[in-house]
Amino acid sequence: MRKKVIAGNWKMNKLTAEAVELAAAVKESLAQCADVEVILCPPFTALKGVGDVVAGSQIKLGAQNMHWEKEGAFTGEISPGMLKDLGCQYVILGHSERRQYFHETDMVVNRKAKAALSAGLIPIVCVGETLEQRETNQTEDVVTTQVTKSLAGLDESAFRRVVVAYEPVWAIGTGRTATPAQAQAVHALIRQVLAKVCNPGAAQAVRIQYGGSVKAANAKELFSQPDIDGGLIGGAALDAASFVDIVKAGV
């Protein structure tokens, strides 16, 4: 049985005081919720504040990006060790906004995933097709390539810890959600690809989140699909009540 994992990606939102307030409200409502793994991913500047709020609770801390090197002359970058130092257990890698605006490639995501795992962080590796790719029947090829290249060369114990997030780019922040059937079809494909990249047993262990305009109203049906193991939540994670309702839909 894979434990569902639901992460809030706050993107470039919330000053420290606002982030602390949101984390405290989520923590208060989810104090009893041990059946789902909950992760909050605030911007770097609020990691310490949010980490202090969730310390000692079931809620875990995640970052939204990192560099692959341990240290050195990389102005403006943050290392895996720095995230660990702040109490992070997870890090989102290869989000479509990083791929689109900051030109991150599968090779970069692969380097980051390896560095995260070596540092003891669990990477949430994002994949997903654009609207144009879906409309020209390239979804399968695009997602297969992204998963294969992003997760190449991991040993099995590292591979089993990875979380994959399937986020169709056309569904992110658009209010347009993949139907449960559309999402399940791609999740099942991703699990087949994972089996080829590592082996079928390891593929069964990897959790695959869906992301793209998840709301309380559509979460339950999405999360009840056999290969959907939770969600990566953007906009709806910025409001405590909406996020909490989504988490409860995963129970």
Write out the residues near ligand PEP by the rule CB under 6 A: 9, 167, 172-173, 211-214, 232-236
As measured in angstroms, the least distance from the Cβ of 192 to ligand PEP is 23
As measured in angstroms, the least distance from the Cβ of 195 to ligand PEP is 25
Q: How far apart are CA 90 and CA 141, in angstroms?
A: 27
Distance of CA 119 to the CA centre of its chain: 18
**Cβ distance to ligand PEP smaller for residue 158 or 177:** 177
**Cβ distance to ligand PEP smaller for residue 4 or 158:** 4
**Cβ distance to ligand PEP smaller for residue 106 or 167:** 167
Residue 176, amino acid: R
Torsion angle of C-alpha atoms 46, 47, 48, 54, degrees rounded to 10: 110
Place of tokens 């420290």: 16
**Cβ distance to ligand PEP smaller for residue 47 or 158:** 47
As measured in angstroms, the least distance from the Cβ of 90 to ligand PEP is 13
Give catalytic residue positions: 95, 167
**Cβ distance to ligand PEP smaller for residue 9 or 110:** 9
**Cβ distance to ligand PEP smaller for residue 46 or 202:** 46
Both tokens assigned to 203: 């593929």
| CA geometry: angle 120, 125, 126, nearest 5 deg | 160
As measured in angstroms, the least distance from the Cβ of 247 to ligand PEP is 14
Position closest to ligand PEP via CB:
234
- What does residue 166 show for φ and ψ, rounded to 5 degrees? -90, 115
As measured in angstroms, the least distance from the Cβ of 56 to ligand PEP is 27
Q: How far apart are CA 4 and CA 250, in angstroms?
A: 7
Angstrom CA distances, 52 to 8, 14, 15, 68, stand at 17, 16, 15, 25
Both tokens assigned to 65: 């990006």
Question: 2 and 227 in contact (C-beta within 8 Å)?
Answer: no
- Nearest to 137, CA basis, from 186, 195, 197, 99: 186
Both tokens assigned to 76: 């403006």
Angstrom CA distances, 155 to 3, 26, 54, 191, 197, stand at 22, 35, 31, 17, 10
